[in-house]
Amino acid sequence: MSKAFTKEIECEADVEGDAPSLPAGVKNYITAEGFQRLQDEFSRLQRIERPAIVETVAWAASNGDRSENGDYICGKRRLREIDRRLRFLRKRMEIAEIVVPAKQKDQERVYFGATVRFLTENSEQKTVRIVGIDEARPEHQEISWVSPVAKALLKAREGDSVLVRTPAGSQRLEILKISY
C-alpha cells in the first residue's frame, strides 16, 4: 500500500540527540559537576517525566481504539525515548571516572578540567574549559577532552603556541592563561 493512503500521526516529542560515543579504549572521564548533571537528568526522567507519560498512556489506552489514538501513540514513542535515555545514562554513569581538576599534580600544564584562555591567529581571545564527553556544552565554552582543540591544548604551558588541526583547516593558538 502506498504511504499516501496510510494515516500518520504527527506528535511532538522531545527527541534527545544521541550523545557522542566513546572512542575505543578511552575512559569516560568526567568532572564531579558533570556527573551530578547526569544524575539529575536520570532522576528527573525516572521520577517525574516517565511516570507522567505512563499516566498519559494509561489514560489514552482506556479510551478504546489505540490504532488512531494520537495520545497513546505519541506517549508510547516518548516512553521508548525516555527508557532509551535512562539506559544510556545508567551505562555512562557506571563507567564514569570522576576527576577532580583541582587535584592535578602539575597545574602549570593543561590537563583535564583546566580552563584555558588563548589567543587565535585572528587576535581573538577565547576561553574554554576541558571536560568529559558527556558534559561538553559548547554554549558554555566547555569542550570535550577528545575534541581537536582540547587535544592540541593538552600538556601545553602558558606562553606555548599549539597547532589545532580540524577538517576545516589548521590554526595556531597561543596559550595565555591556565587555571583549575
0.75 surpassed by pTM:
yes
Every domain of the chain and the residues it spans: 26-98, 101-179
Average pLDDT of the chain is 88
- pLDDT-based confidence at 131, cuts 50/70/90? very high
What CA–CA distance (Å, rounded) separates 6 from 40? 40
Q: How far is CA 149 from the centre of its chain?
A: 17
Amino acid at 160: D
Confirm whether 26-98 and 101-179 share one CATH topology: no
Please tell me the class of the 101-179 domain.
Answer: alpha beta
The third-level CATH classification (topology) of the domain covering 26-98 is Helix Hairpins (1.10.287)
Does residue 168 carry a pLDDT above 90?
no
